[in-house]
Amino acid sequence: MFAAGYLRARYPELLRARFKLPAIAATAELVLADIGKRRGRLLPGGVVDLHKASEILVHEFRAGTIGRISLEEPLAPLTE
């Protein structure tokens, strides 16, 4: 869930392009649900398997297929 939220906040266009999403959802859970629907990871009754969707997201992040992503952020300047 954290990865979906982080990528949604910092790299929405890369997510949208890689998973062919029409728009980026408002929450990390909804982003995973959209990914699961696009990749056909549905449980009986049409419920999205969020575990499988998160595995897809993490696998593609690790493989670099989502795009060039940095997890580092610059430090805020120290104020005295």
Query: Pseudo-torsion of CA 48, 52, 53, 54, nearest 10°?
Result: 130
pLDDT value at residue 50: 96
How many other CB atoms are there within 10 angstroms of residue 9's CB atom?
A: 10
Question: Could you report the per-residue pLDDT of 25-37, keeping only the tens digit for each?
Answer: 999 999 999 999 9
Is residue 39 pLDDT above 90, yes or no? yes
The CATH number assigned to the domain with range 2-63 reads 1.10.1580.10
Q: Which two tokens stand for residue 10?
A: 């910092």
Residue 51: pLDDT band by 50, 70, 90 thresholds?
very high
Distance CA 36, CA 16 (A): 13
